[in-house]
Amino acid sequence: MSSLEEATKRLGEPGPGYPVLLTPRDTAGEKEIEVFRGAGEGAQPLGLAALEGVIPAPIEPATLKMALAELGRLTSGRSNATPDALASVIQGVLPGFRHIAAEARLDDRI
């Protein structure tokens, strides 16, 4: 369904179906497909058709420790944890990481 009115109207109809409202992907983090495997990482079969495990690329323990400490500081409330600040810390450990910001949020649709 493409309209809220049509989905709402069909809510009370008898039958096994349930109306699904399809909306454009325009919120932060919303994608058609999610790929978590980056440069230097491998895939591990999990026995599921649409899901693989990730074999992580090696990370220097000291670099990871510093990034985790910084993420802890940012999320503790002692500083301003902006999306850009969080992305910067993550990019320090995972150079291929890219955050795509959007004005809309999925929570605003609910």
Greatest distance between any 2 Cα atoms in the chain: 60
Domain ranges of the chain: 4-109
Q: What is the pLDDT of residue 11?
A: 78
69: three-class secondary structure by DSSP: helix
Q: What is the pLDDT of residue 69?
A: 95
Q: What is the pLDDT of residue 21?
A: 78
Q: What is the pLDDT of residue 27?
A: 73
Q: What is the pLDDT of residue 106?
A: 66
pLDDT in tens, the chain (110 residues): 677 788 788 877 777 777 777 777 777 666 777 777 777 889 999 999 888 899 988 899 999 999 999 999 999 987 788 888 999 999 999 887 888 777 777 677 65
pTM for this predicted structure: 0.56
Q: What pairing do the DSSP bridges indicate for beta strands 42-48 and 51-55?
A: antiparallel
Query: CA 61 to CA 84: how far, in whole Å?
Result: 23
Q: What is the pLDDT of residue 57?
A: 86
Query: CA 31 to CA 36: how far, in whole Å?
Result: 12
- Long-range contacts, 57-64 (Cβ 8 Å, 24+): 59/93, 63/92, 63/93, 64/93
